[in-house]
Amino acid sequence: MTAVPDRPDVTLLALYDRALPQVYGYLMGRCGDRAVAEDLTSETFLAVAAGREDVPLTVGWLIGVARHKLVDHWRRQARQERLSRAVEGSAPEVHDPWDVEFNRWLAHEILARLAPQHRAALTLRYMDGLSVPEAATILDRSVAATEALLVRARREFRHVYEGSSDA
């Protein structure tokens, strides 16, 4: 009845207790919804459990998987909200410097009100601190398209933020 050591399944289960609060905390901090965070946490661990055996089983790797699951979730949400067409315009965008210091708490609140793909872009780029090419890879877009998306996302954010500040 003795478990065999050095098996990948043993490793994932050994990592589980330590990784679970990290993965769940990451997702909860970005989606803010317990049910969604639980679903995405499950998707993350189950994907790793069913996946290839030669991946590096670390908390960092699991967070990376969770990030993909979060983006997938927002992608589904965007489809459901039928917002894709509205934000996929191809008009050229310009970078718009904006001199303001955010109220952090308000900023995170506002993030939750944005269109899902804008929320995804700003979360990856700013909350997670990824570079634009890294965010582009996860969003499955070109770097140029990701930069354009970020510009639109920042503009929507600014619009909502200023509306909130005025209110």
The answer to whether the beta carbons of residues 20 and 46 sit under 8 Å apart is no
CB of 85 to other proteins, least distance (A): 26
The single-letter DSSP state of residue 51 is S
> Does the protein bind other proteins through residue 114 (CB under 8 A)?
no
> Does the protein bind other proteins through residue 154 (CB under 8 A)?
yes
Name the 3-class secondary structure at 114: coil
> Does the protein bind other proteins through residue 25 (CB under 8 A)?
yes
Query: What tokens were used for 76?
Result: 């589904």
Of residues 121 through 140, those in contact with other proteins by CB under 8 A are 122-123, 125-129, 131-132
What is the C-alpha separation between 94 and 35, in angstroms, rounded? 38
What is the C-alpha separation between 2 and 139, in angstroms, rounded? 43
Residues that bind other proteins (CB under 8 A): 1-3, 8-10, 12-13, 16, 20-22, 24-26, 28-30, 37-38, 41-42, 45-46, 49-50, 53, 63, 95, 98-102, 104, 107-108, 111, 122-123, 125-129, 131-132, 147, 154, 157
